[in-house]
Amino acid sequence: MEQKDKTTNSSNPLLQEWGSLHNGVPPFDKVKVADFIPAEEMAITTQRNEINAIAANKDAPTFQNTIEALEKTGLEKKRVEAIYYVWQSNMGSPELDSVQEIMEPRIASFGDSIVQNTSLFKRIETVYTSPEKDKLTPEQQRLCFKYYNNFVLAGAKLDDKSKARVAEINQKLAGLFTKFNQHQLADESDKFMVITDAKDLAGLPEEVKDAAAAKAEKKGKKGSWVISNTRSSIEPFLSNADNRALREKAWRMFISRGDNGDVNDNNAIIPEILQLRAERAQLLGYPTHAHWRLADKMAKTPEKAMALLEEVWTPAIERVHEEVKDMQQVADKEGAKIKIEAWDYRYYAEKVRKAKYDLDQNEVKQYLQLEKLREALFYVAGELFDLKFDQVQDVPVFHPDVRVFTVSNKTTNKQIGLWYFDPYAREGKRSGAWMTAYRDQEKLNGDITTIVSNNCNFIKGKEGEPVLISWEDARTLFHEFGHALHGLNSNVTYPALSGTNVVTDYVEFPSQLLERWLSTPEVLNRYALHYKTGEPIPQALVDKIKNASKFNTGFTTTEALASAIVDMKLHLAGNVKIDPKEFEKTTLAELKMPKEMVMRHRMPAFGHIFSSDGYSAGYYSYCWADVLSADAFAAFTEAGGPYDKTVAKRLYDNIFSVGGTIDEATAYRNFRGHDPSTDALMIHKGFKVTGAKKASL
Ligand SMILES: [Zn+2]
C-alpha cells in the first residue's frame, strides 16, 4: 500500500462527512476527478482495518460484534463511491475513463478480499448457525442470512486455490466491463447523423427539429441538424421521419453500437466475459452462470424464469404479426410500395395508431409538459404515501440543471430524505433513465435519511419553453420515480436491507407498479395540461389513450423478451466459446423472432448484462416484475381504485417501507394475500389468457 501524505488525505473533500445541511449532502461542488483514486485508496484502507479488527476479535462471535459490526464499516468508502458513481453515469470524460480503469479492479479486488477472509466468514457462519440467532429480531435474522448467503455465493467456502482463481476472474471481468461500457458510451456520443437539407426533416415534430439544430450548433455545424446515437434521439426520429432512407440509416447506426469493427467494437469482449463467468460459476459449484445468479433471486432457478418468458413469448410474437399486418395495410393504402422493415416499425405503428385508434402521439405530447408531470409525481406520492416535496436552492449540485427537493411526511412534517432531479440529456451522461441512492436510509448509525436521484435524458428545449415529452417518456419518468419512492419510503434499521436493496427480479416491481398511476384520471385531469392553453387533456383524448393502451404491446413485449431470452440462453450455455453474431442469429431464428424487429438491446450494446454482473442472467427481471406489478395493481382496482387508502397502506407496510428485510416472495404474499399470477399481465397487454397453464411465480 502506497503511503499517502496525511494532510492530502485529510483534506480530500471526497472523504469528508457530508455536513449537517438537510441531514448532510454530497459535496458535489468540491469534486475533482484527480481526488477519486487517493480517496478510494484511503477509504479502502480504513474499511480493511475495521474488518480485520472484527475478524481478529478474541471474543466469541455474536450478532453484535460480527454482523452488526460489519454493517457499521466502510462509511467513508460509501461516501466516496456514491460520488464516483454519479460521475461515472453523469459526468463522463476522458480523464474519468482513466480513473475508472484503475478504480474498478481495485473495488472488485477489495470486495473479494472481504468475502474470502476465512476467519471473518467463520464468525459469520457461527452466528448464522447458532441457536442464539432465533432470539434476534426478524430483520436481524434476515441480515444474518444475507451475509452468510452472500459470502457463500461469492466463494467463501472454496479452497485457497479456487478462491484465488475467483478473485482473478473478478479482476479480469471488472476491466472488461469498464471497456465494454466505455465502447458503448463512445459509440453513443461519437457517432451521429448529420442532416443538411431541411427537406429531410419532414415529419419531425418542432421540438425534435429544434433539439437537432441546437446539437448541430454545439458540434460546430450551425445550420444543419444532428441526430444523436442515443435512444432518446433515435426513437422520435424513427417514429416520425418521412424520409425512409434516413430512417434506415439512423436505425442501422443505433443497432450497430459496439458492432462496427472499429476501436469501440464489443464483439471480442463478449465471449471473454461469458467464458470467465462460466468458469467462475463452475468453481462455485453451479452448472452455469445463470444458475449461480438466480440462486438467491425470487425466481430461484433459470428454468422457472425461462418458463415465464416462454409463456409470454408466443402470444407476444403472434401479436407482432397482427401489428405488422395492420402496418402493411396502411403502407399499401398510401401507395408506399414497400414491405415493412425494422426501420419502418415505429413510423408505421404511429400511422396505425392514428388510423385505428385516432390517436396522435404528437397531439398527446402537447399535454405532457415535463414540469407538470413532475408535479404529478409529487401528487401521486402525496396520495399514496403522504409525502410532500419542497425545492431547495442551498444544496450543491454537479450540474446547474440538477434540482434538489426535500421530501417530508405531510402529516408529521418529518423530513425523510432528499430527491435530486436531473432530467436532461448531456454529453458525458449515459443514455436511458435511472435512479441512484446516494445514501441509504438506516437507523444503525443514527437516524440516517436517504438521498435519492432520478436521472433522465429528455431533450432540453429552447430557453423558457416547456419541455414536452412523449407518453412513453412520461411512463419512464413514473417508473424511475417508483424506484425513488422505494428508497424514500424505506423504514428499516440496517443499511444492507434498506430501500432498493432487494433481489434483482423484485427491484423493478415497485417502479413498474408506479407507472400505472400516469394514466389515472386524477393525474391526467390535473397535470396533463396543454402547453399553450393550459386546458386539461380532453376526455375524448383520454378515452383514445385508454383504447389504444393495448396497442403495439406485441412490439414492446417482444423486443424486451427477446433480450431476456438471449441473455438467459447466453448464460446457460456453459463454458464454451461463443461467437456473438452467430449466437444472436441462431437463437433469434430458433425463437422465430419476427424479422420486422430487433431485440431491444443487441448483444454488443447490451450494457445491462455486459457492463457489470448486475443484470446478467437477470434481464428477465423486467418481465418478472411486469407480472408482479400487473397483479399488484389489480389489488387497487379490485378495491376502491388506484388511490384506495387501505391498499396504499398495505403497499407501504409490506413493499415500499420494508426494503429487503423480508423474503421478497413473502412480502408480496403479505401485500396481495396470494402468490402472483400472469393473468393480470396477459389481460393488461391484451394477450390471450391461457388459463390452463397459469404460471404461479
Ligand atoms: Zn427500473
pLDDT one-digit tens code per residue, 467-498: 999 898 999 999 999 999 999 999 999 999 99
| Mean pLDDT value across the chain | 94
CA 511–ligand 1 middle distance (angstroms)? 6
The string of pLDDT tens digits covering residues 242-291 is 999 999 999 999 999 999 999 999 999 999 999 999 999 999 999 999 99
Ligand 1: centre distance to CA 238 (Å): 24
Q: How far is CA 490 from the centre of its chain?
A: 18
Separation of CA 428 and ligand 1 centre (Å): 21
Residue 634 has pLDDT above 90, yes or no: yes
- Concatenated DSSP letters of 546-581: HHGGGTTHHHHHHHHHHHHHHHHHHHHS-SS---HH
Return the higher-pLDDT residue of 3 and 136. Answer: 136
Q: How far is the CA of 434 from the centre of ligand 1 (A)?
A: 7
Query: Of 580, 616, 622, which is closest to residue 256 (Cα–Cα)?
Result: 580
How far away, in angstroms, is 479 Cα from ligand 1 center?
Answer: 6
**62-to-69, 333, 339, 388, 427 alpha-carbon distances in Å:** 10, 75, 69, 41, 50
Distance 594 CA to ligand 1 centre (A): 26
State the distance from the centre of ligand 1 to the C-alpha of 484, rounded, in angstroms: 10
pLDDT at 525 > cutoff 80 = yes
Nearest-angstrom CA–CA distance, 9 and 624: 45
pLDDT level of residue 8 (50, 70, 90 thresholds): low
Dist. CA 207–CA 410, nearest whole Å: 37
* Secondary structure class of 201 (helix, strand, coil): helix
Give the DSSP letter of residue 60: P
Rounded-to-integer distance, Cα 673 and Cα 654, Å: 11
Mean pLDDT, rounded, for 454-467: 89
pLDDT category of residue 690 using cuts at 50, 70 and 90: low
At residue 3, the pLDDT reads 40
CA distance 651 to 645: 10
CA distance linking residue 107 with residue 101, whole number of Å: 11
pLDDT at 632 over 60: yes
How confident is the model over 548-585, as pLDDT tens digits? 888 899 999 999 999 999 999 999 999 999 999 999 99
Taking the CB of residue 138, how many other CB atoms lie within 10 A of it?
A: 9
The residue-averaged pLDDT of 205-221 equals 93
**What single DSSP character describes residue 535?**
P
**How many whole angstroms from 216 Cα to the centroid of ligand 1?**
31
In terms of DSSP bridges, do strands 450-458 and 434-439 run parallel, antiparallel, or are they unpaired?
antiparallel
Q: Count of residues for the chain?
A: 697
Ligand 1 centroid to residue 165 C-alpha, Å: 33
Q: Is the pLDDT of residue 520 over 50?
A: yes
Dist. CA 208–CA 365, nearest whole Å: 12
347 has a pLDDT exceeding 90: yes
The pLDDT-based confidence of 5 (bands split at 50, 70, 90) is very low
Separation of CA 449 and ligand 1 centre (Å): 22
pLDDT at 359: 85
Q: How far apart are CA 38 and CA 44, in angstroms?
A: 10
First-to-final CA distance of the chain: 49
How remote is the CA of residue 246 from the centroid of ligand 1, in Å?
Answer: 31
Catalytic residue among 40, 50, 480, 559: 480
Q: Is the pLDDT of residue 9 over 80?
A: no
pLDDT band at residue 1 using 50, 70 and 90 as cut-offs: very low
Q: How far is CA 332 from CA 181, 248, 326, 571, 683, in A?
A: 42, 19, 10, 42, 31
Q: How confident is the model at residue 694 (pLDDT cuts 50, 70, 90)?
A: very low
Q: At what angle do helices 269-283 and 160-190 cross, to 10 degrees?
A: 150
Q: Residues 357-385: what's their mean pLDDT? A: 95
In this structure, what C-alpha cell is assigned to residue 652?
Answer: 407501504
Instruction: Indicate the pLDDT class of residue 688, thresholds 50, 70 and 90.
Output: confident
Q: Dihedrals φ, ψ of 329, to 5°?
A: -60, -45
Residues 6+ apart with CB under 8 A from 104: 174, 175, 177, 178
What Rg value do the Cα atoms of the chain yield, rounded? 25
Per-residue pLDDT of 62-92, as tens digits, reads 999 999 999 999 999 999 999 999 999 999 8
Beta bridge partners of 151: none
What's the CA-to-centroid distance between 629 and ligand 1, angstroms?
A: 12
Work out the pLDDT band at 697, boundaries 50, 70, 90: low
Q: How confident is the model over 604-632, as a mean pLDDT?
A: 94
Taking the C-alpha atoms of residue 610 and residue 601, their distance in angstroms, rounded to an integer, is 11
The alpha carbon of 431 and the centre of ligand 1 are apart by a number of angstroms equal to 14
CA 265, CA 255: separation in Å to the nearest integer?
13
Q: 679: how many CB neighbours lie within 10 A of its CB? A: 17
| Known catalytic residue at 480 | yes
325/64 Cα distance (integer angstroms): 64
Which pLDDT does position 653 carry in this prediction?
A: 98
Q: Does residue 6 register a pLDDT over 60? A: no
Check residue 561 and give its pLDDT: 96
Helix (H, G, I), strand (E, B) or coil at 415: strand
pLDDT in tens, 122-136: 999 999 999 999 999
Distances in Å between the alpha carbon of 680 and those of 122, 558, 689?
46, 18, 9
pLDDT at 160: 93
pLDDT at 133: 95
The predicted pLDDT at position 461 comes to 80
Query: What is the share, in percent, of the chain residues with pLDDT greater than 90?
Result: 86
